[in-house]
Amino acid sequence: MSKLLLLILAFVALWWLAKGFRSKDSPPGRTPDAAAEQMVNCAHCGLYLPQSEAVCEGGRYYCCAEHRRLAG
Measured CA to CA in angstroms, residue 39 lies from 34, 51, 69 at distances of 16, 6, 21
What are 37-70's pLDDT values in tens digits? 899 999 999 999 999 999 999 999 999 999 999 9
Q: How far is it between the farthest Cα atoms of the chain?
A: 86
pLDDT top residue among 19 and 42: 42
* Cα distance between residue 66 and residue 69, in whole Å: 5
Measured CA to CA in angstroms, residue 44 lies from 12, 14, 37, 41 at distances of 62, 60, 21, 9
